[in-house]
Structure 1
Amino acid sequence: MLILLPPSEGKQPASSGEPFNADALQFPELNAHRHQLLDVLAEVSRGGDALEVLGVGKSLVEEVTRNIQLHREPAAAAHSVYTGVLFEALGYDRLDANQQRLADRSILVISALWGAVGFADRIPAYRLSMSVKLPEIGKLASWWKPKLTPVLNERAAGELVVDCRSSTYAAAWVPAPGQTVGVSVFQLRGGVRKVVSHFAKHTRGELAAHLLTRGTEVATPEELLAAARERWEAELVPGTARKAHQLNIILPEDHAFRAVG
């Protein structure tokens, strides 16, 4: 079982600790590309048009400034750096030790800066989205795709891939359709299914937590459907030779998205 997550836009900086060690990250074969991006990102973040290039507002000047010296910033485990709706719903700190080890082994966060990192990989907080177009690099999803594909194809071999990414991050690596299940979230409104957008992250986080805590890993799309039905109304749309399977989670009309923790 391999669970793919997008990063959060907001990130929690580590208050103390050593800087990141690239050689200790998963997929060290990506390190040359990571270092190239770190250098380009630092140069962009020094520029007068940094906010425009990175697509952020003036309130995020401090985060952009941090990009200049990421080699010296304190690092922390990715599961504590990434914050927001999905990660709060997943609740790494609420997992027991065995479940946390499963999370560390099973979860990959697809990242604009790092390519892909595991939940236990130590990274600094940074500001960079996969939708950004950088000088010398171009659009990051397109730049990463040929670099990530052979590395992540090898990592995913023989695994069921549960894809909880947004479309921006999904563009950076397309796993084999036959072994992949995308996750969509709908809510009934007036008896009609409506796509859930922002708060779909919450349900995807809950799904990830459920898969980590139920005691048995899922290995097929059908097993994933059965696991989802333990908590939600759900259906599986079979894939094709070119299109991944799709798990649709359907929330009731009275469903309320509540903060957890």
Structure 2
Amino acid sequence: MLVLLPPSEGKAAGAGDGAPVRLEALSLPGLTAARETVLAELTDLCAGDPDKAREVLGLGVRLAGEVTRNAALRTAPAAPAGAVYTGVLYDALGLGTLDPAARRRAEASLLIFSGLWGALRVTDRVPAYRCSAGVRLPALGGLAAYWRRPLAAVLPAEAAADGGPLLDLRSAAYRALWKPTGELAERTVTVRVLHGPSRTVVSHFNKATKGRLVRDLLTAGELPATLPGLTGALRDLGYTVERPDGNDRQLDIVVDQV
């Protein structure tokens, strides 16, 4: 099973003496050239015209430090992506506190999507940065559109080799980077988090519930190999799961707390 995750806006910087990112060492090497192209434009923009960079990145004056940090991405200390991304979903997932077996499953099954890197494994060492999927760089244009071709050339083989479900927990902005098609679409499961009797969509608890859900699957043992197996596994873990379309490709997780 592959789990497709969004990044987080909040990121933890690597240790001060950590080695910088090496693009050639990242997983999914078919994305190396595309990563270099985005990294080059982003760092040049932030180093050469900070005011323009703030406008492009949608940052206020108080976040000018993010532009300075972006300008130094090639030399900034890197850390595993699983430690760099913070925020509600990643706090609930708690990668750093998984037992060794669950950690191995996380390393094999989690893919984090990114406006800068395209997609990463949790072990890929990257610096903290600011560049969402909604950014439009002056030369490259919208990053969601830019990444579609490179990711479409690389990810189908990854998903085909895995052979199990694709649990897609990405937000809409990151689903736009890559959409499974054909047989892979038939194996893709999306999840909504709804509140109790009203069945209203929740926001904060959407992220927290998805993080806990992934953690529970990773710690329960071998990941499900089929869509019905995934639905059954979530129910066995105590989740209230509904199938609004009558199949296992769209699941609603009903929670009582918001």
SS in structure 2 of the partner of residue 102 of structure 1 = helix
Structure 2 residues not aligned, in runs of 5+:
none
> Contact 1:225–1:235 at 8 Å: present in 2 too?
no
- Alignment partner of 1:165 is 2:173: no
C-alpha deviation, 1:150, in angstroms: 2.0
C-alpha deviation, 1:199, in angstroms: 2.5
Out of 80, 89, 100, the residue aligned to residue 86 of structure 1 is 89
Structure 1 223/237 Cα, relative in aligned 2: closer, same or farther at 3 Å?
farther
C-alpha deviation, 1:238, in angstroms: 4.9
Structure 1 residues not aligned, in runs of 5+:
257-261
Supply the distance in 2 between the matched residues of 1:9 and 1:2 (Cα, whole angstroms): 22
Supply the distance in 2 between the matched residues of 1:54 and 1:123 (Cα, whole angstroms): 19
Structure 1 143/239 Cα, relative in aligned 2: closer, same or farther at 3 Å?
farther
Aligned twin of 1:181: 189
Supply the distance in 1 between the matched residues of 2:111 and 2:244 (Cα, whole angstroms): 24
Structure 1 221/86 Cα, relative in aligned 2: closer, same or farther at 3 Å?
same
- Alignment partner of 1:151 is 2:154: yes
Deviations 1:193-241 (A, max 9, x none): 110123201111011101100012111121111121122111234589x
SS in structure 2 of the partner of residue 125 of structure 1 = coil
Amino acid aligned to 1:178: E
Aligned twin of 1:30: 31
Range with bigger deviation, 203-212 or 230-239: 230-239
Out of 202, 206, 212, the residue aligned to residue 212 of structure 2 is 206
Amino acid aligned to 2:43: A
Q: Percent identity?
A: 45
Supply the distance in 2 between the matched residues of 1:239 and 1:66 (Cα, whole angstroms): 47
Deviations 1:31-76 (A, max 9, x none): 1111111111012213122111101222221122111121100000
TM-score by length of 2: 0.92
TM-score by length of 1: 0.91
Number of residue equivalences: 249
Structure 1 or 2: larger helix share? 2
Q: Cα RMSD (Å) of the superposition?
A: 1.5
Segments of 4+ in structure 1 off by > 4 A? 237-240
Amino acid aligned to 1:38: L
- Alignment partner of 1:219 is 2:222: no
Amino acid aligned to 1:161: L
